[in-house]
Structure 1
Amino acid sequence: MMSMCLNINGLAIFIVLIAYRLASFTSIPKVFPGMQSKHDNGVFLVGKQEAKSLSFKTIEMMKPGDKDKADIGEKRGLHVSCGATGVKSFFYRYTSPLTGKLAQVKIGNFPQTSLAAARLKLNELKLVRQDGRCPATELKQENNCAQSRLNRPKWLN
C-alpha cells in the first residue's frame, strides 16, 4: 500500500515538473532550424536569430572570414560566401535528387553577377531540380562536352 502511495505521489510530482518545463518554454520561439515562421514585420525567424532577405548592401559589407549569408523565402537556397581573398561568390545549395546529399552549384562572383541575376539563375536551377535532375551533375556534363570538343583532333579533308 505504501509503495502504491509513493508511485502516485511520484507521478503527481512528475506531472507538475513537466507542466513547469512546458510553461518555461513558452518564451522560446516556436521556430527550429530549417523551419520558417513569418513575423509581423515581414522578417523571418530562424532559430533564435532574425534572418533578413539578402541585399546589395549586406553582400557588399561582407568581410573575409564572415559566415555565409543565405536568402530566405522563395529565394531559399541562394547563398553568398566571402573567401579569404575577399571574393564574394553566389551558390545554390540544395539536396541532390540522385544521391540525397547536400550539393552546391556556383552561380557567379559578386559584383560581376548582380543579386538580381543570381536570383534569376537560382530560379532556372530550381526548375531543373524540380524536374528531378541534379543541376550540378548537368553542369559537369555540359563542361565535359565543351572540353571534349576543344580537345578533339581537327581533321583536314
Structure 2
Amino acid sequence: MNSVPFALILLFIGSTLFTLAECTIGGTVNCYQCNVFNQGAREFCANAERKMYNCTGCMKTKTRVYMHDQWLRYKYVTVISKYCIQYMNYKLEEGCYTKSADQGYIRRCYCYSHWCNSANKNSNRTLVTVGLQVLFTFFVFNWIRGS
C-alpha cells in the first residue's frame, strides 16, 4: 500500500477528531461581548467587539424603549448588546425570548456555538472546517481511485 494516501487519510481522521473535540468536549464556546460595562468603562459595539473565550453560552440582546427626555418630545431608543455567559447553572433552549418593557421590549437570544452572537450569521468556524474536510476527502478518494 502506498504510504502517501494512508498519511492523508490519517491526517483527515485526526482533523475530524480535533473538530469534534473542539465542539463537544468541555462545553465551552467563544463569544463576542460589547455594550457592557467592563471595569467601570463601557465597551461599545461600534468601536470593537471584544472576543471572549471559555463561555458557557453566548447572548445577544436588543432593547427598545420609548423615552420622553424632553417636554412633549418622545423617541424610541434601541440598544444591542452582546454577552459571554460564563456561569450558567442551566441552559435555556437556543433561540430568542421577548419580554415587553416600558412601552418597548427586550429580546434576548441565546446560542451555544462559536461566535454565534456576531452580526454575521456565517461566522461559525465549525461549519467551514467540516466543509473543508469533506472537500479534502473528495479529492483524496478521487486521487486514490486514479492511482
State whether TM-score is above 0.5: no
Q: Which of structures 1 and 2 has the bigger CA Rg?
A: 1
Between Structure 1 and Structure 2, the one with more strand by share is 2
Between Structure 1 and Structure 2, the one with more helix by share is 1
Query: Which has the higher relative contact order, 1 or 2, with Cα contacts under 8 A spaced 6 or more apart?
Result: 2
